[in-house]
Amino acid sequence: MKILANDGIAQSGIKALENAGFEVLTTTVAQEQLQNFINENEIAGLLVRSATQVRKDLIDNCPNLRLIGRGGVGMDNIDVEYAEKKGLFVINTPEASSSSVAELVFAHLFGGVRYLHDANRNMPLEGDSNFKKLKKSYGSGTELRGKTLGIIGFGRIGQATAKIALGIGMKVIYHDPYLEKASIEVPFFDGQAVTFNFESQTKEELVSTSDFITLHVPAQKNYVLGKEEFELMKPGVGIINAARGGVLDEVALVDALENGNVIFAGLDVYESEPKPEIRILMHPNISMTPHIGAATGEAQSRIGIELAEQIITLLK
């Protein structure tokens, strides 16, 4: 039985699948050629990340396809309900990348409060000629400890982010319309653990009281943070979006950065991805990464194994 990992899969997943008798193809097939490739090679399982689209026409025209797998959490590039109605298995890996995304959130947060994203641009250019000026420019940083982190979306990634925040001494609040209450256990290296209990706040309460706000929601029809929400925020707030492009109004964000209400932003995803707007790319107060939230060796290995285990269970 053949599995096509069109957007790649870690060696751990390939090995597990091959040991179970599957043939794994890792050819990257262009979207317009995907249907023919699946049919000509009698592909039973199609694995994707965020690049490949699996829409109704592909599902309808690939009768041999039995399973669609997403290496990650969000499945907005797959017509999930339609595929399931047609009898296909649709799987994802909701736990495997949580820690990696949460750590990237804090990479942006730590960098933002100490201006590292801008210092790293200017030190190579002016470090030898304007050292004292740069030192003064970047000498008014802020500590994260003791500040309030507002988390919008309190699923696995949101909770993994909360654990890091609690570990460094931040206050955590969250908003999630689907989760009224939550308990989080924060484990430590020596086997000890501390449990924290939370209740969801309204979005208005969260955006008006948080020092930093991070988004962890699936793709939405409307902005989660738009002009109205930015107007409610405390002056000097920091914003992180490592969820999905389009959940944050980037025009409203730039306006808030320009008027000083938002002090910095960290973006891993973009409204016009894969071609972010020039106003975003050139802004000195935005820390940017190219959609790499789950792109760690550890996460990709876990994703590969988690996909393989589900495929073996469902198709064998």
Q: Is 126 a catalytic residue?
A: no
Name the percent of the chain in helix, strand, coil, to the closest 5. Answer: 40, 20, 40
Tokens of 198: 């939370």
Q: Measured between alpha carbons, how far is 284 from 95 in angstroms, rounded to an integer?
A: 34
Phi, psi for residue 91 in degrees, rounded to 5: -130, 160
Measured from the Cβ of residue 10, the count of other Cβ atoms closer than 10 Å reads 22
User: Active site includes 273?
Assistant: yes
291 is a catalytic site residue: yes
CB atoms within 10 A of CB 233: 22
Torsion of CA 265, 163, 110, 230, to 10 degrees: 20
C-alpha dist (Å) from residue 228 to 225, 231, 234:
8, 5, 13
Which one of 216, 244, 283, 302 is the catalytic residue?
Answer: 244
Question: Which residues are within 8 A (CB) of 111 and not within 5 positions of it... i.e. 6 or more apart?
Answer: 117, 266, 287
CA-closest candidate to residue 224, choices 175, 159, 273, 272: 175
d(CA 161, CA 172): 10
User: Among residues 49, 291, 302, 306, which one is catalytic?
Assistant: 291
Q: Which residues are designated catalytic?
A: 244, 273, 291
